[in-house]
Chain A
Amino acid sequence: MRKLLGQHEFYLAMILTVLVIAIGLANPAFLTRANLFDLCKSSTVMGLFALGVLIVLTSGGIDISFAAIGAFSMYVTSRLLLAVDFQGSVWVAFLLASLIGLALGLFNAVSINVLRLPTLIVTLGSASVFRGFLLAFIGTSIVNRLPAGMIAFSRRTLFEQTLATGETIGLSFSFVLYLLAIVAVAFVLRYTLLGRGIYALGGNAEAAERVGFNLRRVQFFIYGFVGLLSGVAGLVHACTMRNANPFDLVGTELSVIAAVVLGGASITGGRGTVLGAVLGVFLIVVINNSLILLGIPSYWQKVATGGVIIASVAITAIRKDGVRHAAASWR
């Protein structure tokens, strides 16, 4: 029990539960299956990005280029498949997008390792490079007709059901991809040497090197994997929206990083869990998708979103002060 009380995720789950009950009391429509499915779908793209961000933050780095990688991968994939009039499975599209993402992620890894530059600067630069290249050389116009496989994927749902009102509801199939990614990342971080290496690198790089971790290899994995996840996330986004818009995604970096930090990952590295990140994302999605249900006027919606985020961080921070010394939170 004491162990549970000491955990950040526990408090986050509590906040989330209170919020869900409060919104549900205010508007019972929130507690319906239709809404649960919607929330799951809405958290998929952000969640996939967040898993990547979690790994980077845990390793003591920061990656700002993931959204640009996502946009790049999905737009190039869509254009390529359209150019060859591709009619086959959506998995080819996913493979292509993840390979493009992987390549761009490795570009980050090479820059960080060979040039020995801070990760923030490298990814800030590469985000601009990827985005600029995309808009200058590949295109700026939105693709409104995606390949048939991608459209079919966006229509695919689980637990489909027609309500008495004639409405059809279902859980978007893309959520399965998110679940798979959650399991994969949790496994790597928890049970593999590589995962230990990521935590070690974030905790103290020098010590990690001395105990024998090959930090270069670990970093190549981290940035390559983030790229790959971002490619998948980008493609899921395109399928969901049924169009490929090269201007999409970029601009969401900060809210994803905020969600992960809200989930308890330390921005200085060494600390962070998959459960925390997933809860953090879900909390932000719940806030963003409940303001109309609560009948909050448009101008007040921004105030409400910011307010809940600050309150959540404050509650978890105060808890930390109770456990450790107050000074610790100044670190």
Chain B
Amino acid sequence: MKRTAVLFVMSLVALLLVGSCRDDASPGNSNETSYTIATIVKLDGIAWFNRMREGVERFSEETGHKCFLLGPPQADAALQVQIIEDMIAQGVDAICVVPFAVEALEPVLRKARDQGIVVVAHEASNQVNTDAIIEPFDNHAYGAHLMDHLARFMGTDGKYAAFVGSLTSKSHNEWIDGAIARQKDRYPKMVLATDRIEEYDNQNMAYEKTKELIKAYPDLEGIQGSASTTAAGAGLAVEERGLQGKVMVVGSGLVSQCRQYLESDSVKLISFWDPADAGYVMNKIAVMLLNKQPLAEGMDMGVTGYEKLRRDAEKPNLFYGSAWVDVTKENMDAYDF
């Protein structure tokens, strides 16, 4: 009986030793080892980040690095911080992050970098504690191009409203900044009806707030969305009210989410960048940084839209691609996500 117990304890110890040896080996000491890279997004489960997961997993398969994607169940900065804390505790090699609120993540990202973890951010051009930031395009230009479409649908005059996920979502607000600047510059007869509206990356909220907007501003003619949930939520409200052709909805979104509203004409145009490509490129940059390869102006990531990265003039770790895609009822069948 006693012998069995001793044997049992010894085998447990042996197991632990084996386990810890493997742990020691995995965080890459040489360039050959496989890295563990966590991609942490604003919100798990929505079509947008599910598509990003495909890109992350594709990178993982092609390169053999251990890459995975995680996100909180609700778009909430505190929950995102918690997940990043967990990743630091697990000792990952790199963290790719799509922040819900840039400022709220600074302390935890600094902690990660202090521990030697490489940080790559996306949709966060003002993130300070990060090794590199990769943006699919220049945010002001993207917002301005959506405004060009909105103005075209609205006949260059009338009231419009602008949505953001949160007033702290940097990219969303830059898109809207760009859009408003473009409107003031080229479409002086258009008017912004009210302050930008928050919808917390929540389709239900976008729907409710659109209904309210329609009541508060009966002469509203256009809505520009930012979060991937706005176009579908606003489209539902427009369709329910039978306001197709009166209230024009444009915004970021995915075909799978917006198909029924594009079909019914309640959403006029959606624009997106392929989140899978963004996920892929983020992870690739993380590996380059882990391997101490320099990032340079004009480098080619081997992905459409990211063939020639442009380096920001003021922020040397900020890179832009040129990766937006516009989708209307006519060409939506070309996209299956």
Contact = CB atoms under 8 A, between A and B. Distances in A.
Interface in A25-80: 27, 29-30, 32, 34-35, 38, 42
Main secondary structure of the interface of A (DSSP, over half): loop
B197 A166 contact: no
Interface in B11-52: 43-47, 50
B248 interface: no
A242 interface: yes
B294 interface: no
Interface string A165-188: 111110000000000000000000
A252 to B, nearest CB: 10
A72 B140 CA distance: 41
A241 B240 CA distance: 11
B94 interface: no
Interface string A213-229: 00000000000000000
A38 B257 CA distance: 23
Contacts of A243: 203, 232, 257
A168 B212 contact: no
Interface string A12-33: 0000000000000001011010
B196 to A, nearest CB: 7
Given A241-B204, A292-B194, A292-B197, A167 B216 contact: no
A299 interface: yes
Nearest to B167: A298
- The B interface, classified by DSSP as helix, strand, loop or mixed, is helix
Interface in A97-139: 135
Contacts of A272: none
B177 to A, nearest CB: 15
Contact of A29 (B43, B50, B215): B215
A246 B45 contact: yes
Interface residues of A, number: 42
A203 B218 CA distance: 51
Interface in B72-96: 73-74
B216 A142 contact: no
15 contacts: A30-B215, A32-B215, A144-B256, A144-B259, A166-B242, A167-B242, A237-B204, A242-B260, A247-B43, A247-B46, A250-B74, A289-B212, A293-B215, A293-B216, A295-B194
B50 A140 contact: yes
B207 interface: yes
Nearest to A32: B215
B212 A245 contact: no
B257 A144 contact: yes
A329 interface: no
A298 B196 contact: yes
Interface of A: 27, 29-30, 32, 34-35, 38, 42, 135, 140-142, 144-145, 155, 162, 165-169, 237, 240-243, 245-248, 250-251, 288-290, 292-293, 295, 297-299, 301
A34 B195 CA distance: 23
B236 interface: yes
Contact of B218 (A165, A289, A292): A165
**Which 4 pairs show the lowest CB-CB distances between chains A and B?**
A168-B242, A247-B45, A292-B212, A29-B215
Contact of A245 (B45, B214, B218, B241): B45
Contacts of B74: 247, 250-251
A38 B211 contact: yes
B198 interface: yes
Contact of B203 (A168, A241, A292): A241
Contacts of A240: 204
Given A35-B215, A295-B194, A168 B204 contact: no
A167 B209 contact: no
A141 B50 contact: yes
A141 B50 CA distance: 7
Interface string B240-263: 111100100000000011011000
B312 interface: no
Given A142-B46, A247-B44, A250-B74, 15 more contacts: A38-B215, A42-B208, A141-B45, A144-B260, A145-B260, A166-B246, A167-B243, A168-B241, A247-B46, A248-B204, A289-B208, A292-B213, A293-B215, A298-B196, A298-B198
Given A162-B242, A169-B241, A250-B73, A241 B207 contact: yes
A255 to B, nearest CB: 13
A168 B238 CA distance: 10
Contacts of B194: 292, 295
Nearest to A302: B198
A137 to B, nearest CB: 15
A38 B212 CA distance: 9
Contact of B47 (A144, A241, A242, A289): A144
A237 B204 CA distance: 9
